[in-house]
Structure 1
Amino acid sequence: MLKRYIVKSDERGLLFKKGSYMKRLQPGVYRPAPFSDDEIVLLNVTKPFHVQGKDLNLFLQDQRLLDELTVIHVQDHEYALHYEDGKFVSLLTAGKYAFWNVLKRHEFTRVDIRQPEIGPEIDRAILAKVAGYFYTSEVANYETGMLFYNNVMQKQLTPGKYYFWKGPVLASVNTVDLRRQQLDMTGQEIMTEDKVTLRLNFVCQYQITDPLRALEIKSFEEQIYVLLQLILREYVGTLKLDDLLRMKQEIAAFVLSRLNDKSEEYGIKFLSAGVKDIILPGDIKEILNTVLLAEKKAQANLITRREETASTRSLLNTAKLMDENQTLFRLKELEFLEKICEKIGTISLTGGGNLLEQLNSLLGGGKQAG
């Protein structure tokens, strides 16, 4: 039975004789000679050029075939973005590819994955179609980012979302928080000069000014914490307990000044510092409460003595005035009588004599009668 091959308008034929490629066939009808080993492989020109079991280079020696093909060789350090008639189709990894150009126009954008950051020239809309070939990093609006390639610093990144190709170079973004931050030191035990062990709750606020410097310091927050510890111990260890309690505000000023002396080394600026609490041992609390109570009692006694002295001085002044002024003396008698009348219902006086003498006599007589 005679073989017949029909090559359609959207196809091309590849003629093989005894398994060896001979030439490309245009659309038409072909009948190999009887009992020949000729074979025609049909390929659709809307699909990539590919012959099962054959290497591409075998066909690139045919110039006529090559005229109808677009060939691209993608290097090991590259990706190629493949577009057909201006529309993205696929991402090509390292290798050699061929596409028919008889019905479609093929274009390619090469990217060097040794520079992994995906630039703005790559449309972000196509990235959803190549999800396995890139990764992302984000920098929040209150942060700054430091871009590293294989742990080597490249540049500083502003807030935004960044895309990187997967490849031989690993891109990493370390973010640094630029907001005001707070460091709390709770229950720090420190001994004063007079050997009293107390606990301090201290707080300071800072802001990073040199992100790269801050990233270069291992365990950044821990080192800041230790620095604060040492400064507090240095200062508190030179004070006695009474001085420490009296100079509470000066501690904060001293610590803040010393911290800012070290700020450039850590790439930060210390904004404020303060003592939240001073926690004393129980026995020291009792002693201080006893001292405080004694001080308050002494103050109360002093006030009482001052009032008594003032009252006595006032009586002395009144007596002098009464001795010098008889009218004032009489008014005082009447005032005294008024006070007596408030206590007694009726008083009868007869005869003459001094009012006070009669009242004394009356009061004396009443006592004897009782």
Structure 2
Amino acid sequence: MKIVRINAYQVGLVFRDETYVKAITEGTHWLAPFKTVKIYNTTQPFVAPCALDILLKDNTLAAMLDVVEVKDNEIVLQYENELFKTVLKPGRYAFWKSIINYRYVRVDLSKVEITEEIDLAALAAKEVLTYMRTYTVEPYEKGLLFVDGKLQKMLEAGTYYWWRNNLSVFVSKVDMRQLQLEVAGQEILTKDKASLRVNFHVQYKVADVMKVLVENKEVDKQLYILMQLALREYIGTLSLDELLEKKEVISEFILAATADKVAKLGFTLVGCGIRDVILPGDMKEIMNQVLVAEKKAQANIIMRREETASMRSLLNTAKLMEENEMLFRLKEMEYVEKIADKINTISIAGGGQVLDQLKQLFGTAK
């Protein structure tokens, strides 16, 4: 006989010629010399030394073990004292019932939605992420969830988790902020056959997520073409001069002409307008010549107007002097004074007759 001592939190499995006999627990045991004992720590996972089914036929040993069976398309999340421990893949597992409290959450991987009560800490664990799909919808976005090609629901902002399996899962997202579309470099003929290059811009927002993501394809391209055609339609009905005069009014026409079609795409227009009207080189030269000619004509009109006003003033002055001899004399003295300002010396040749003439000139008329 031989003595075998089993300590606390230990279990011994007795074998005879590699055949399981029984399980022994804490204490001192006497065994025949041809029997062997394998001692296990009950705080560690149990690794069966032979087929588990054989061991479980012993009711005593079966009562000491938690047996967990994980089927195909399943995983089991194991918690140890309420802390996530590991993921059990398909197979059969046995754990000792001891001071460690085990809890198990069984997950069906054949479905997409996570219906099990699993905390975020476990979902973020590396072992669990292998079996999950993660999608994030930003605060300025909305999304549509498609499972196996079928629309399931609309997603608001947030982070979403789904189980990874053979079903295809796709999230289509759209930006809900105000967006801008540039319709640049459009070469268009006006009504009077003037060739222009126009840069146009449009501000818009998503109004209907379903129309944008499901009912229409390549909505951005459709919106671009819609704005392009409306712009060409408007400019084609105007001459170059009319276009330059009504450039600020084009937004009203575009908004009114495209509102219904834009709504069918799932958008709503916020505003639009022409940023640049670019003329070809020869057209620029012609326009500059026209501008110079217009300015010269305006200058000539102003000069003629000033000349006319000056002549009218002279005529009025002449009439006044004709009616008033004193006023005529004063005007004469004014011109004599202006002439005298430019003369340094005066030499008088003659007799008393000259003095009499000066007296007569500057004398007071009676």
Measured in 2, the distance between the counterparts of 1:119 and 1:253 equals 52
Measured in 1, the distance between the counterparts of 2:293 and 2:201 equals 34
1:231-266 deviation per Cα after TM superposition (whole angstroms, max 9, x unaligned)? 112222222222222221122221233333323222
Matched, 1:50 2:55: no
Letter of the 2:166 partner, please give it.
P
Q: Which deviates further from its counterpart, 252-261 or 332-341?
A: 252-261
Pick from 339, 355, 361: which aligns with 1:350? 355
Give the secondary-structure state (helix, strand or coil) at the position aligned to 1:122.
coil
User: Partner residue of 1:228?
Assistant: 227
User: Partner residue of 2:107?
Assistant: 111
User: Partner residue of 2:280?
Assistant: 281
1:298-323 deviation per Cα after TM superposition (whole angstroms, max 9, x unaligned)? 11111111111111111111111111
Give the secondary-structure state (helix, strand or coil) at the position aligned to 2:320.
helix
Matched, 1:63 2:59: yes
Measured in 2, the distance between the counterparts of 1:211 and 1:227 equals 19
Q: What does residue range 111-150 of structure 1 map to in structure 2 within 5 Å?
A: 111-116=107-112, 121-126=117-122, 127-130=124-127, 131-150=129-148
1:188-226 deviation per Cα after TM superposition (whole angstroms, max 9, x unaligned)? 112223332211111111122223332234333222222
User: Partner residue of 2:351?
Assistant: none
Q: CA deviation at 1:115?
A: 4.6
Give the secondary-structure state (helix, strand or coil) at the position aligned to 2:341.
helix
Q: What does residue range 296-335 of structure 1 map to in structure 2 within 5 Å?
A: 296-335=295-334
Contact 2:223 2:262 in 1 (8 A): no
User: Partner residue of 1:192?
Assistant: 190
Measured in 1, the distance between the counterparts of 2:116 and 2:309 equals 90
Q: CA deviation at 1:70?
A: 1.7
1:67-96 deviation per Cα after TM superposition (whole angstroms, max 9, x unaligned)? 222223334333322122322221223333
Measured in 1, the distance between the counterparts of 2:63 and 2:43 equals 16
Question: Residues 119 and 200 (structure 1 numbering): CA distance in 2 closer, same or farther, change over 3 Å?
Answer: farther
The number of residues matched between the two structures is 351
User: Partner residue of 1:203?
Assistant: 201
Gaps in structure 2 of 5+ consecutive residues = 349-353
User: Partner residue of 1:272?
Assistant: 271
Question: Residues 345 and 71 (structure 1 numbering): CA distance in 2 closer, same or farther, change over 3 Å?
Answer: same
Contact 2:66 2:95 in 1 (8 A): yes
Q: Which deviates further from its counterpart, 333-342 or 115-124?
A: 115-124
Measured in 2, the distance between the counterparts of 1:287 and 1:220 equals 41
Q: What is the aligned-residue identity percentage?
A: 44
Letter of the 1:66 partner, please give it.
A
User: Partner residue of 2:178?
Assistant: 180
Measured in 2, the distance between the counterparts of 1:114 and 1:335 equals 116
TM-score (norm 1): 0.83
Question: Residues 87 and 346 (structure 1 numbering): CA distance in 2 closer, same or farther, change over 3 Å?
Answer: same
Q: CA deviation at 1:135?
A: 4.4
Matched, 1:163 2:161: yes
Gaps in structure 1 of 5+ consecutive residues = 357-370
Matched, 1:72 2:77: no
Measured in 2, the distance between the counterparts of 1:169 and 1:310 equals 93
